[in-house]
A = this chain, B = another copy of it.
């Protein structure tokens, strides 16, 4: 039996396009001699469809698409994920399911049992967990089909009490197939391989795993579909951050060692780089835009976003706006222009002095006798926000946000100013990682100017300002933030590791007080195990650690 794994880039709710891509790949798999082609979890509607799932017309469209796909499953079978109605009217309205289609007909339905609700996941909001398990018989073989998380309760994972494969194995299957929507983070690929290998080993069965690829706003799928033999050895690893279709012979895979070469594991920074490129591309393509605008300050954050945007969209589609003020250093404009000239994107220079002066004058009466302070710094940042949004509105550019994760965490940014944008490109990348990313971007020749990388970070909103005036050294800050955000440690646990008590308390307080700002920031491309956004839901008017 030959199995094709089709690793595709779906678009949430775009039934026409998803259906067309699925049908194209059924045809392709058939041409390559496959007996069955396997698509990912919820492939028909895209993942995560969120509250679209609560609209019954949306669910009907999924079913209609499946019927259309079924017509093309002649001389080839197909497994494809979609939400289906829970007809018994007890429990949640839906199941997260997969259809097994053969001879143009839906022959079997598999439902997901383990529904993640941690981090970015909300599956229990929509789906009833499955409790009945049955293998699929096809071409004389029994297939144990599971959906994503269903294989993740191995190794005594305490999160789940049931184990779908422990039920399915009683029916003596010949092969395991798992269809997934497994979001990328730079630590996830190795965990995924380990968990899946452990399943193959435990159940002594070959395992075919198909993931999806592409970004759905903030959530990025990296692909990397996998094949294991019954000893848990990786026999094939499909492309990362690209669509792919490969055909495997089930009987051959069990006997032949290392037929399919494995690439070297990519570094965290390589993966982050590729994920961000895909995140930008898919945000634009799936929302029907092609051109980006951003503010280019001469600093490292906006330089990196500019470089990534040019790689993702083409330099000809990127407009960099330089907006110097009286506090901008001489080198800022030069560094920004050096980048623009190297990279070949469009640029405008628009000084903000006139608008900043206008606000000073308009506010002179209410502000009489009061010294300039953070208010006036914020006005400058917000004037830049207006200019960028005006460029966006006038020319149909999408504004890219350039805030990094360290700034987002401690609230070192101006709401409605530098925190504007449709999508946060590097909001899940700590400042210390930003420097690594700059070096990675420059690995084949200087793109980000050296001076941009080595100069001390500054917001340049008052004379001789440096980030280090307000914030601790990024090396220390990022370590403490990682403990608190990624590892969810409180102040006591972090202090116990030897960090300065007052510093830890100050930073955690800043993180919590900035919750009201983060609530209003753009969605952020998720590349870490714990990004700001849907995966981290904090009270705003809450007092813990604030």
Contacts and interface: CB of A to CB of B under 8 A. Distances in A.
B379 A543 contact: no
A491 B389 contact: no
Nearest to A490: B57
Given A160-B91, A362-B354, A49 B539 contact: yes
A428 interface: no
A521 interface: yes
Contact of A352 (B286, B362, B491, B540): B362
Contact of A363 (B282, B385, B387): B387
A244 to B, nearest CB: 22
Nearest to A385: B416
A259 to B, nearest CB: 38
A159 interface: yes
Nearest to A285: B541
Residue from A17, A378, A520 with most neighbouring chain B CB atoms (10 Å): A520
Contacts of A357: 358
Interface in A495-546: 516, 519-523, 534, 536-546
Contact of A159 (B91, B160, B350, B516): B91
Contact of A51 (B125, B350, B536): B536
A373 to B, nearest CB: 8
Contact of A158 (B51, B90, B286, B391): B90
Nearest to A55: B490
Interface string A393-425: 110000000000000000000011000101000
A54 B118 CA distance: 10
A12 B541 contact: yes
A265 interface: no
Nearest to A321: B366
A493 B57 contact: yes
Contacts of A352: 362
Contact of A543 (B12, B51, B542): B12
A52 B542 contact: yes
Contact of A12 (B286, B386, B391, B544): B544
B365 A387 contact: no
A351 interface: yes
A192 B326 CA distance: 61
A217 B539 CA distance: 8
A542 B13 contact: yes
Given A49-B539, A161-B91, A217-B541, A358 B363 contact: no
Given A362-B355, A385-B382, A539 B50 contact: yes
A308 B522 CA distance: 30
A470 interface: no
Interface in A126-165: 158-161
Contacts of A420: 416
Contacts of A382: 382, 385-386, 389, 416
A466 B378 CA distance: 33
A12 B539 contact: yes
A117 interface: yes
Contacts of A64: none
A217 to B, nearest CB: 5
Given A159-B91, A348-B366, A359-B387, A522 B523 contact: no
Residue from A90, A522, A539 with most neighbouring chain B CB atoms (10 Å): A539
Given A122-B537, A287-B541, A370-B394, 15 more contacts: A11-B541, A12-B544, A13-B542, A46-B542, A50-B537, A55-B544, A58-B490, A118-B125, A122-B122, A350-B362, A350-B365, A355-B358, A355-B359, A358-B358, A520-B522
